[in-house]
Every structure is written in C-alpha cells, then in structure tokens.
Amino acid sequence: MPEPLLPLLVEADVLQDKLDSPNLLVVDLTKPETYAKGHIPGAVYLDYPLIVRMARPVGGLLPDESQLSIVLSRMGLTAETHVVAYDDEGGGKAARLLWTLEAIGHTHYSLLNGGLHVWANEDHPLEQQARTPQPSQYEAQVQPNRQAVVGRQFILDHLNDDKLALLDVRSPAEFTGEKLYAARGGHIPGAINIEWTEFMDQSHNLRLKGIAELRNMLEEKGFTPDKTVVAYCQTHHRSAHTWFVLKYLGYPEARGYEGSWSDWGNREETPIEV
C-alpha cells in the first residue's frame, strides 16, 4: 500500500497545508449546529449514532457490514481515501470512527490533534457551507481477526492472563460503582482506572499530552507495550480515544471492548469488583 498522506496524529498546520490533496476526506463529528456554524473547509458531516449500534441494554456495538457500507459510501470513502476525523470534545467520537475503520481494515486515517478546539481557537479558516460528498460504492468488511476489537468472551477467557491489562477510562465514581449506568456497578476484576480526559492537555486546546508524559502515565499503572491492553468505558466512546492513544504510542496489542460496561454491567454472570 502507498504511504499514508498524513501522520496518525496530525497537527492543524499540517492538515491546513494538505486540504486540497486528492483522496483526502475530512470528517466532522461535532453536533449539527456546530458544523453549520463553522467547520474545516471541505469537511463532510457524520452523525455519530450512524457508526454505533444499539442492542438494548447494550450500546456502542459495531454496526453490521451493510450499515457500515451505506454510511461510508455516503461519505464518499474509497480504498484510496485518507480520512482525517475531528470533533469538539477532545477526540472521543472522532477516534470511534477511526477504530471502526481499523476494524474493517481501512488503515489510512488520522486524528486531528485537539480537533475543532485547536482549529478554531488558533485562527485556522472555517467555512459554513455544507459539503455533500460524491457517493462511492464502498463495501465494508469487518476483518476476521478484528485485532482492534474484543468482546466479553475474550475478556472472560483471559481474565487470569497476566498479559491482559484492562484499562477502565470512566470516571472514578463509575469505576467504584458510586455512579450507576447499568444494572450493576463497579468494574471488571483487575481493571485499573485512568479517566479518559487525563490524556488531554486541558491548557493546550485538548491536544494529547506529550509522548513521554503519556507513556509514563500508562507504564506507572502497569500498562506496558508487551501486554494486550483493552480499553473500555460505558459504550466504547470515551475508550475509543484511549485506544487511539495506545495505538499512537505504538502499543501493538491495543484493543477496545465493544459494548464496554453497558455489556458487562448488564449481565448477571460476569464477575465484578467494586
């Protein structure tokens, strides 16, 4: 495959210089009213619920291949397209799109570091004109190994494996069960909590913290690159951002728990800790 057009984590200055590149697709995952008020020139809008599937009480599942094919074709995605995703919340929704692309083997993608906060606050150009992409005929096929994706059974099968590290990125109150968003509260046995916003630099327009700081945050809690690190939250929205952080840092076995606590915490047979 050809070299990616842009790095995995792209800075706004670099993206601005590449906006006219062929095969570049910039995807906005903010709210519709935010997109209408101002977005990156040429960016197409994607409504976040279109890339997640509900099977109540479980949320945050991968859509089936036919749904993904429809959504991605409407975006104009082709095999040659390099996708840059952004949102206005630090990257959770944008990273969920990239995790979905990884699951179907489309690996030419980037996250805009800091998203709309960086772009708008640091005087990059915005436009209000809605962009309608030329539809494609993209056929989404979830990869058989789906290395970025794990489900409940994988975790149950490896709970006692010292090579598995479970990273719970919900709030501390959710982790302890004080806040309850499922039938049961608490966390998966052995999981360690780092709230997802800890990876962002709040004083620097929600960019990721520096590589050395990110590595130290993870490794001091036992999340080392030799382990299979599974990130989870309530519906694998916040933890998609953490999955991206792990991938960005070069963790070869970075994975996200599809369904996350909405799956684990709504079952009677899954073990929990509080």
Query: Residues with catalytic annotation?
Result: 233
Q: What is the CA radius of gyration of the chain?
A: 18
Task: Take residue 131 and report the two structure tokens written for it.
Answer: 């962009």
Q: Is 64 exposed, middle or buried (0-12, 13-18, 19+ CB in 10 A)?
A: exposed
Q: What separation in angstroms does the CA of 205 have from each of 114, 117, 265, 272?
A: 6, 5, 33, 36
Helix (H, G, I), strand (E, B) or coil at 20: coil
CA-to-CA distance for 27 and 209, rounded, in angstroms? 23
- Determine how many CB atoms are found less than 10 A away from the CB of residue 185: 18
> d(Cα 186, Cα 244) in Å, to the nearest integer?
24
On whether the CB atoms of residues 201 and 57 are closer than 8 A, the answer is no
